[in-house]
Amino acid sequence: MGSIRFDSVNKVFGGVKALDDINLEIAEKEFVAIVGPSGCGKTTCLRIVAGFETPTSGIVSVNGKRVTAPGPDRAVVFQQFVLFPWKTVRQNIDLGLRNKNFAGDERERLIRSVLDLMNLESYADAFPHQLSGGMQQRVAIARAYVLDPEVLLMDEPFGALDAQTRVLMQEELVRLSRVNPRTVLFITHSVEEAVYLADRVAIMTRRPGRIKEVLDIKTVRNEERWNRFQRIEDVMDLDSFIHLRTHVWKSLREEKREDRQ
């Protein structure tokens, strides 16, 4: 359960081709990051899976079922958190559970366990505007995770956070995906973030948005046993990490050079 498939997906916005023949398969419980320059259409890819946009041609399917509308089987974590400002942390997390018609005590149990998982126990009754950006994004992740979605769609989730908070959240996400692995489609323009988090990294080109290369990270990560380190800086010091990161960088830079001509 939880595979994503792009089948020759094209998207045209007002006569401009945003996505050109995107083909990508994400296996169950696989973590795939899409990196690319801004405006390359990576967010559009995610929005199509979420059901917020429809492809001009081609098919996106989740579990072999064509995506037509948004739904709680594909939970989204937005760059700007997008919590409901008039709801407390608990109420924000509860909305999706209420939509699933879970009983009260079951919801309470799930909320408590996800608050615990995201270190939010003492903020259950706070309103979003009382929390820092990092805390708000934890709530947004908790809101998505609690639904036990088949796939998790993360659209530059740490893009609005400061550098330190960002690193902590990245480490947290790695911890989370070890405890409770999900199929994740992760959008970012940070090469380090993509290589650190993902099993595979898809590199996108700009105008029209195309997938240029898909890089396997998981094999190297397992061979080099990146998981023995808790901290991101220790992983980033490894030759194997630097090698992969440089590969992605070069690929993106070639893309920019082509762009200039």
Partner 1 sequence: MSGRPLSLGETIAWGLAGLILFLGIWTTLSISGLVPRQFLPTPLGVITRFVQLLTTPFAGATLPQHLASSFQRYLSGMMLAALVGVPLGLLMGWFRLLDDILSPIFEGLRFIAPIAWVPFAALWFGTGIGGPVMIIFAGAFPPCLINAYRGARFVDPRLIEASQMLGTGHLRTILEVLLPASIPSIVAGLRVAAGLGWQSLVGAELIVAAAGVGFMMVQAQANVSTPTVMTGMIAIGIAGMLIDVLLRYGEALILRRRGLVV
What residue ranges bind partner 1 (CB under 8 A)?
A: 50-52, 69-72, 74-76, 78, 80, 82-87, 95-96, 98-100, 127, 129, 143, 147
Residue 14 vs 85, nearer CB to partner 1: 85
How far is it, in rounded angstroms, from Cα 233 to Cα 235? 5
Residue 67 vs 191, nearer CB to partner 1: 67
Residue with tokens 């059901």: 51
Q: Kindly report the CA angle at 162 between 157 and 164, in degrees rounded to 5?
A: 105
Residue 11 vs 143, nearer CB to partner 1: 143
Say how far residue 162 (Cα) sits from the centre of its chain. 18
How many Cα atoms occupy the beta-carbon half-sphere of 202 within 13 Å?
26
The three-class DSSP label of residue 156 is coil
Q: How far is the CB of 157 from partner 1 (least distance, A)?
A: 13
Residue 15 vs 86, nearer CB to partner 1: 86
Q: How far is the CB of 52 from partner 1 (least distance, A)?
A: 6
Residue 100 vs 207, nearer CB to partner 1: 100
Q: How far is the CB of 82 from partner 1 (least distance, A)?
A: 4
Q: How far is the CB of 55 from partner 1 (least distance, A)?
A: 17
Residue with tokens 């947004």: 140
Residue 146 vs 197, nearer CB to partner 1: 146
Q: How far is the CB of 159 from partner 1 (least distance, A)?
A: 14
Q: How far is the CB of 143 from partner 1 (least distance, A)?
A: 7
Measured between alpha carbons, how far is residue 181 from residues 9, 138, 151, 245 in Å?
Answer: 27, 17, 10, 24
How far is it, in rounded angstroms, from Cα 169 to Cα 192? 14
For the packed helices 133-145 and 163-179, what is the interaxial angle rounded to 10 degrees? 20
Which of 210, 205, 220 lies closest to 253 in space, CA to CA? 205
The token pair at 107 is 């919801």
The three-class DSSP label of residue 32 is strand
Q: How far is the CB of 147 from partner 1 (least distance, A)?
A: 7
Residue 50 vs 203, nearer CB to partner 1: 50
